Structure 1
């Protein structure tokens, strides 16, 4: 039996606290033929919730009801564009069919007008900020997009700042996010495919791809995996990431994320698929290659030689961030002869006054560092800076003065911590690798570190997100594609041919059709 099977088995107790997701009953039922029965069924489904607003009125002698959720509709727009034209309507020999025809062909009560037939669509539209019109004798329900709920305005991305380029980042609203992408990519081939997640929450989402660039096989596989998502509530795009990851047990992911619209546009133009979810400012990108963690939008705005230097700097910082502590422990514990004489004397002098072995000393100081980092991240911003000051000045200095930790170890922690923030998207695997290499260096020395590094490389090469090797174009190697990996050539060269991820060496995906289907 696998370890994962233990957590996947359902409890034997009928009234257990853990239950599989259950869909709402009656969502697929068609709307009742009479208006009063529709309203009665709606009130029964929502349990007379306090934010449901139902206004019954007569339009040209036809009984109607306007239904909405309080706080989800723009009141001024509703009154001017919807309520006034509807109440002032006058029809000759009015009938339900004429009212429906007027709404369909002679009016524009809202830019987004939809028709629906089921109670599931009725509740979904109401709770998404639509105004719903139900009329006696009119079979379909009519939904009008007049959303007006409050939210954060477009601002600079917090985690992906840049020197040049746009200062706009995604926000928590789906529709403005789609507009940010469309404004930068005015192509008829850019497609937004609306999807829905969460058995209970029914969270809106959108697949973003470029017809003619995306592989049909890739698009179909993403659709298939997302159709298997059976979760009660989806509140963040991270809920969906495990369903798109090919190797969930790997420390590296084949799914990337970004909060920059221009970055998403660049990825989509290369044949990738973006996933935007309502309620989160982060977009998922699949497939995502390992070398893209070391790329930023500024790389393509700077001169090629400087962008290449910055990229090599990021690779070096990544290796320092998890290898340096393990190498220090391994050399000091098993191979002191490899250290320069002066450095060895300093190390011996420092360790002679500390009570802990070098490995436990490193584990302790990095564990304390992670505690301070988490405290500074979770505490209110007004006192978060105080945590870092206390950690750096008080705890570090006191630990060295008391003889619990050597001064070289404190310097090592500072160098490693700064290096780990150079590539923030890899912070999670860096943290795990750092502790793992410290343990291996303290137990097996350099030989163990070399073997562990080979195991990490094998694990990375095994990541194959949706048929594209995560290590491509380095492994399998492609010299032509390396022009934007270790080096960044100029735009005169890059603009000659566009990249398509399905065409990378080692990819199992087929090319794209002209229609993208």
Structure 2
């Protein structure tokens, strides 16, 4: 079917263009492809427009074009192959255009009839430049160009394939929603709108990337988000210099506050309910077309340890799970370094029986404790990356190799000690408890292995203080990411290390711009003092 449409749409216009002196007009520079060259207005002559469109697009094979007559007026129809719903296009657009009869019709009369008297699509817009034309075409719109009219009409009839809504793969839950974001940004907008049915929910969409023209969408509540925060996010994104944007990771560096930190001040989520909860607190969500992950700014450090399941459990159990996540994170970062520091510099801190077992296992190994810990954790990271990138049918081979070679053969051969295998296993399990912090935890554990093996417990203590200072100094759009722990606010701790009941949480509504230490309210405080 697509080939039939392609031949039907292309043959007539190409033939007429060649009769007028070739497909590429001599007045149009060859190799036109930049957005600057396409920032010219459409002409009233339909054939001139069609020839220039072919020139701008370098005669790409997926551009389908066809000229028809509507009440004696020539109308050009353009679309991208595979981007539209052909059944909708045939029934809603082709049939009315072929049956309409407008007396004494000219180009403006046909344009007025299409714009004012028909509803080809719920998303129907007029445009005036070639740049807008290509933006609509490549977003799945059908474009109408009318002879004698210097503007076009775009009708949204998207019909491209995409992954259906399914359960999030990175944020699993037990009692919450099973819906996760998908790649098309419009579908993600509907999932948010279904959960927040308020007129104050606003979507701001605009393209980024000079070549990809990727649609990104700012999501926020106009009566909750601080206008200065919204403007700051817009300014950050306006500095985007990439030609192509393919995922949310391209935007994160422009939104982060202090880049000299292993921790990010930009959060990500794959769950619509999580994003709705965040924007209800005054945050801004950013949806990127083509990726199922949404960005959240500003993002606090304590939010890495929160999940939607916490608010479905009883308060005491939700608090227990949250404290367990904190403990697991510190274990994944500090356990290897503490093990090396204690066994090398402070063995008297261990019980005699445990110390004898460790000494017996390490006596057969050729490496020092620090070297052994560094090598074994590096091997584990290699195994994890290999298992992550391998196809699923053969991915289990990595775990088999790891269990046989590292877990058994390496110990039997005396390359590593059995106690070190236990430390690696416990560190690996702890790092999976808070997956959003896996990246900094994976790097920091190597840092603390070196520090612990070089300066012992003193080095671990100094490293911990420096890490804590780095966290406390990190801001996201003027809001400290360690708030409300630093600066301290006892009232806001009701949903930090532990979770209070909904009776208490519902009494005082949290707005992120009102957190202690926020610089968004400096002007308000100055006015009050005056």
TM over 0.5: yes
| Structure 2 unaligned residues grouped into runs of 5+ | 1-32, 525-530
The residue that corresponds to 2:56 in the other structure is 45
In the TM superposition, what is the alpha-carbon distance from 1:172 to its structure 2 partner?
0.7
- Of 97, 120, 124, which residue of structure 2 is paired with 1:86? 97
- Is 2:156 aligned against 1:145? yes
Identify the residue that residue 12 of structure 1 maps to in structure 2. none
Instruction: Trace 1:474-513 onto structure 2 (pairs within 5 A).
Output: 474-510=485-521
1:348 equivalenced with 2:348 (yes/no): no
Aligned positions of 1:150-299 closer than 5 A: 150-299=161-310
Separation (CA, whole Å) in 1 of partners of 2:523 and 2:184:
31
**Residue matched to 1:6:** none
- Matched position secondary structure for 1:257: strand
CA contact 2:43–2:149 (8 Å) conserved in 1: no
SS at match of 2:61: coil
Give the length in aligned residue pairs. Answer: 492
Secondary structure at the aligned position of 1:67 is classed as strand
Q: Which residue of 2 aligns with 1:8?
A: none
Alpha-carbon distance, 1:23 to partner: 4.5
Say whether the 8 Å CA contact 1:210–1:268 is kept in structure 2.
Answer: yes
Matching residue of 2:12: none
Go from structure 1 to structure 2 and tell me whether the alpha carbon gap of 1:399 and 1:150 turns closer, same or farther (over 3 Å shift).
Answer: same
Q: 1:213: Cα distance to partner?
A: 0.3
Alignment match of 2:83 (pick from 72, 84, 95) = 72
The corresponding residue for 2:35 is 24
Tell me which of the two structures has the higher relative contact order, counting C-alpha pairs closer than 8 angstroms and 6 or more residues apart: 1
Deviations 1:197-220 (A, max 9, x none): 101110011000000100011001
Q: Deviations over 1:329-387 (max 9, x none)?
A: 00001011111111111111111111100000000100000000000000001111221
Question: 1:317–1:420: 8 Å Cα contact kept in structure 2?
Answer: yes
Which of the residues 409, 412, 437 maps onto 1:398?
A: 409
Distance 1:510 1:122 in 2: 43
Q: 1:63 aligns with which of 62, 74, 78?
A: 74
Separation in 1 of the partners of 2:415 and 2:434? Answer: 31
- Structure 1: state its 5+ residue gaps: 1-21
Conserved in 2, the CA contact under 8 Å of 1:96 and 1:138? yes
Q: CA deviation at 1:249?
A: 2.0
What is the match of residue 432 of structure 1? 443
TM superposition shift of 1:137: 1.4
CA RMSD of aligned residues (A): 1.3
Deviation at 1:315?
A: 0.3
Q: Which residue of 2 aligns with 1:3?
A: none
User: TM-score of the superposition, structure 2-length normalised?
Assistant: 0.91
1:511 positional shift: 9.5
Distance 1:386 1:409, change over 3 A: same
TM-score, with length taken from structure 1: 0.94
Alpha-carbon distance in structure 2 between the residues aligned to 1:178 and 1:23: 30
Q: In the aligned structure 2, how far is the partner of 1:405 from the partner of 1:490?
A: 48
Tell me the equivalent position of 1:303: 314
Higher mean C-alpha displacement, 364-373 vs 80-89: 80-89
Report whether the alignment pairs 1:464 with 2:464.
no
Q: Deviations over 1:38-59 (max 9, x none)?
A: 1111100000000000011101
| TM-fit CA distance, 1:238 | 0.6
In structure 2, distance between residues paired with 1:173 and 1:457: 39
Q: Which residue of 2 aligns with 1:96?
A: 107
* Maintained 8 Å contact 1:216/1:510: no
Return closer, same or farther for 1:215/1:511 CA change in 2, 3 Å cut-off.
farther
Structure 1 residue 512: Cα displacement: 12
